[in-house]
Amino acid sequence: MEQSKNKLQRAVFLDRDGVLNEDVGYAYRVEDLRLIPGVAAAVATLKSRGFLLIVVSNQSGVARGLFSNDDVNRFNQALNQQLISAAGVGIDEFFYCPHHQDGSVAQYKLHCSCRKPEPGLILQATQKYPIDLKNSYLVGDKPDDIECARRAGLIGIQVRSRYGEKHEHAAALVDSLTAALPYLT
């Protein structure tokens, strides 16, 4: 039993908005939650391959006073429920950064190590789970996601979006999480 507890797991870290659900800009209202087509099946495929699935997301709307941590948690729970209802499996854990140095909420107005491209959210996950970073991935739609992957020693897969060109360290540029599946082996 002790040996299996210490066995490193492979993980796929997923950005939330723009990878799992439609990016509506500061997504926090459950009624605005729309899964991207094919995402539930892709999540089920990744689980069937034995990956731990962890969401890592910047949520600066908390620091900006646009919504609360409770709103983020409600949205994450609703997203997970939709995945479970659609495919029978969900996300193992959600980690998010509520900080932003230009925020208006004093306790969250700071430069931190958990806001991507910093690898702090990945490091938080490794404190809770025995993750094999060298054989794990991060799928995100922004260059900061891929930079975070690079800094954490992960393989970064970039989903095409309005947020810029392919990051030089992206292993692939794809149209969706479904299109990323051939790279997540």
Domains of the chain plus CATH, in order, are 2-183 (3.40.50.1000)
Statement: residue 11 has pLDDT above 90: yes
Confidence bin at 3 (pLDDT 50/70/90)? very low
Percent of the chain with pLDDT over 70: 97
Q: What is the pTM of this model?
A: 0.94
* Cβ atoms of residues 134 and 144 within 8 Å: no
* Cβ atoms of residues 114 and 121 within 8 Å: yes
Q: How far apart are CA 140 and CA 4, in angstroms?
A: 30
pLDDT digits (tens, 9 = 90+) for 123-153: 999 999 999 999 999 999 999 999 999 999 9
SS (H, E, C) the chain: CHHHHHCCECEEEECCECCCECCCCCCCCHHHCCECCCHHHHHHHHHHCCCEEEEEEECCCCCCCCCCHHHHHHHHHHHHHHHHHHHCCCCCEEEEECCCCCCCCHHHCCCCCCCCCCCHHHHHHHHHCCECHHHCEEEECCHHHHHHHHHHCCEEEEECCCCCCCCCCEEEEECCHHHHHHHCC
Statement: residue 49 has pLDDT above 70: yes
pLDDT digits (tens, 9 = 90+) for 52-101: 999 999 999 999 999 999 999 999 999 999 999 999 999 999 999 999 99
Rounded mean pLDDT, 6-13: 92
Rounded mean pLDDT, 13-24: 97
What is the Cβ-side half-sphere exposure of residue 171, based on CA atoms within 13 angstroms? 18
pLDDT digits (tens, 9 = 90+) for 87-105: 999 999 999 999 999 999 9
Please state, rounded to an integer, the average pLDDT across all residues of the chain. 95
Percent of the chain with pLDDT over 90: 92
Confidence bin at 6 (pLDDT 50/70/90)? low
Looking at residue 164, what is its pLDDT? Answer: 74
Rg (alpha carbons) of the chain, rounded to whole number? 16
Looking at residue 2, what is its pLDDT? Answer: 42
